[in-house]
Chains A and B, each alone.
Chain A
Amino acid sequence: MTMTTLFAALFYLAALLFSVGLIYRIRDYARTPAPLVIPTTPAPRTVGGVAMRMAREVFFFESLFKGNLWTWAFGWLFHVGLALVLLRHLRYFIDPVWDWVIFIQPFGIYAGLVMVAGLAGLWARRIFVDRVRFISTPSDHLMLALIIAIALSGLFMKFVSHTDVIAVKNFFIGLLHFNLQALPSDGILYAHLSMIATLMIIFPFSKLLHAPGLFFSPSRNQADNSRDKRHLSAWAAKLESGK
């Protein structure tokens, strides 16, 4: 029971830090003014066009595709795999499980493999391409190691040593209702869960901020309409009234 309490506490803490940290960051980005119109042109002239540009960046990594095909391929596979895996894991948090979540279960398994392949490719580039090696910090390697370890421990429980998924589900549903249920005592599961909690905790303090950051990137989210619409930030407007 002590491990159950420990993990419950860990996940409450991780969820708190993750959400509060992320909300704080997003509010900070949203409140920081963008005084000048700086879209990387040619850029869409309308808000609808900007939404399309952003959607292509979010779903297809358009700029990265132009930049480097290998990085794009590995990165895109990893992110798509991760998205499917996360959706697959919804079954641990909802009851009864939605039909489409049941439908994607088998794909989620392949996605786990694809995700590891993508991460391995990204790591190989970090090690073997001299330019990327030069810019890599220890935390860049550790981040890859952490996510690969999370994926491998998850796949291990799927393919090698099953854990009691019903009990895991009861544990998480219990967490959502502040009603503690026993977590199966399973070393691999402990490893899997503690690494996930770690990832959640470091998210708002690390380069994982690229996820919200993209939406606030002025070179991507601004419309190219500077001659038709006067764009003035609050601090820049003050200079004017001082005149």
Chain B
Amino acid sequence: MAAEIKAPAYRQFSIAPAIQPGSMADTKTFVANEKIQEAIGFPPALVDDWHDRAIAKMGELLSKYRSFKVYMDACVHCGACSDKCHYFIGTADPKNMPVARQDLMRSVYRRYFTIPGKLFPKLVGARDLTREVLDEWYNYFHQCSECRRCSVFCPYGIDTAEITMAAREILNSIGYGQKYSNEIIGKVHKIGNNLGLPGPALTDTLEGLEEDVKEATGIDVRFPIDVKGAEVLLITPSADFFAEPHIDSLIGYAKVFHAAGISWTLSSKASEAGNFGMFIGNYQQLREIAMRVREAALDLGVKRVVVGECGHAWRVAYSFWNTLTGVGSGAADPYAMQLQKQLDHRYKQPMHICEVTWDLIERKVIRLDKEANDKHIITYHDSCNVARGSGMGDVFGGQFDIPRNIIRAAANNYVEMAEGTTREQTFCCGGGGGLLTDDLLDLRVKGALPRMEALHNVTETHGVNFMATICAICKAQFTKVLPYYGFDRRTVGGVHQLVSNAIRLGDK
């Protein structure tokens, strides 16, 4: 671990590396301490009867999640997924092949829950849940970013993310949680956002932004917070409030609302779009974190809920919020109706900021000067949770086309990266799924390899100098990792950063 972290060399051909068993066996993300665990209701440390409780928890999850149950049974070891994971491509550790990662869990499932595994464990690759196996779970289920790329290629749609989530849920239930994710979940509950930015600091930041934008443009663009009766409640990742380059996209959203004359507000209660409850596979946390958004929407009496540039948050919002909080449409139960009556269903609920912006561009409500982005030659990185876990607009694949349409409307120079690395086959940035922590930096650098190769190719052939994306984790990960591959860290930025550069504010 003490060794210097270095980017792996680009591959000559985009083929899978020869396997190097055990090469990442010792990579272990920091374990959550007692305080972190107890703050969110998990046992403080590994419990004495961890074996029995882990197996019991596994049985419970098998009865509650059809995905987990079917995916434990259905795999035939065909190997179609084996070369699809960015962490395998970057590390060559065969246990980072999706199927092998699943088998860490499946081997135990077979031993305790199937007849052949009970009778002939060796024959079917079944294993007892020993301390070694448990540690292996911890290490390798924290080398999966839950990006679902493997599920695209599996003939049965087996989604390793579902198994990683189940594994983390089991580990948490016996007191063996990850520091990074669990600490962040604690902060969301205590302070309201992942970065632990308290309300007053947030207000200060937003006031500062208003001054900055006034100075740069001469126009009073507002960054409102906790405004009752606003039309739009914007839920955005807290990184947007102060991290670079995230903040430039926040400025972009504000300018879009300003130019379109839409009243909007942020919420100090729900000052975070991210929902790490998904990363740890805990339904209760997922729901409680999502519930803040429901409460904020009801408190503020807004007509629309819009989500900023954040990948997994958009998956949770698009695919799960209606289930968790009743924010969408199509419900008959009083609980969901309470919120749905308040919202304006001429608009999809929730809506992605890109859907809002693209609609305004199409209707010519806002106008963009493409020349403002002429210094950029732009490519677009599809974020995994947007690409494979959600949608946008009303058309198949809208989550790919809408952000690209916005970029093309906001800039003159746009280049696609190689096929097989974009759209539904996009590669994870290497930092998603609760792995965006410095104690996993080596893994993050290696996991970025396939994306860096694709970016490198378009910089060589087309002089690309800007990679736009709509995910706070992608932005943070690339900012950190790009220099290891010889790129300027400012190569990455948001789609609304480009909109911000190009939008006409004053004379519309």
Q: Which A residues lie at the B interface, using CB under 8 A? A: 25, 28-29, 32-38, 40-45, 57, 61, 63-64, 66-68, 71-72, 75, 122, 125-126, 129-132, 134-140, 142, 202, 205-207, 209-210, 213-214, 216-220, 224, 226-232, 235-237, 239-240, 243
Contact = CB atoms under 8 A, between A and B. Distances in A.
Contacts of B75: 207, 210
B133 interface: no
Interface string B305-323: 0000000000000111011
Interface in B62-79: 62-67, 69-71, 73-79
Contacts of A36: 319-320, 323
A202 B120 CA distance: 13
B203 to A, nearest CB: 30
A95 B379 CA distance: 65
Give the residue among B67, B100, B399 with the most A Cβ atoms within 10 A: B67
B70 A139 contact: no
B43 interface: no
A226 B447 CA distance: 31
Interface residues of B, number: 79
A217 B157 contact: yes
B328 A41 contact: no
A63 B153 contact: yes
A219 B19 contact: no
B219 to A, nearest CB: 34
Nearest to B328: A227
A34 B391 CA distance: 20
B154 A205 contact: no
B107 to A, nearest CB: 9
B66 A32 contact: yes
Nearest to B125: A137
25 contacts: A32-B70, A34-B65, A36-B319, A36-B323, A38-B319, A38-B389, A42-B424, A66-B152, A67-B155, A132-B77, A138-B122, A138-B123, A138-B125, A210-B75, A210-B155, A210-B156, A217-B156, A218-B70, A218-B157, A219-B67, A219-B158, A219-B159, A232-B333, A239-B284, A240-B335
A41 B387 contact: yes
A209 B159 contact: no
A230 B153 contact: no
Contact of A229 (B154, B156, B158, B330): B330
Interface stretch (B80-88, B470-478, B499-507): B80-88
B66 A34 contact: yes
B69 A32 contact: yes
B350 A40 contact: no
B323 A35 contact: yes
A142 B124 CA distance: 10
Interface string B266-305: 0000000000000000011001000000000000000000
Given A130-B19, A134-B19, A226 B318 contact: yes
A99 B324 CA distance: 55
Give the 9 A-B residue pairs with the shortest CB-CB distance, closest first: A67-B153, A213-B74, A67-B80, A137-B125, A219-B157, A230-B331, A132-B79, A220-B157, A229-B330
Contacts of B320: 36-37, 226
B336 A230 contact: yes
A125 B476 CA distance: 40
B290 to A, nearest CB: 11
Give the residue among A41, A235, A237 with the most B Cβ atoms within 10 A: A41
B392 to A, nearest CB: 10
A29 B70 contact: yes
Given A216-B70, A226-B319, A35 B123 contact: no
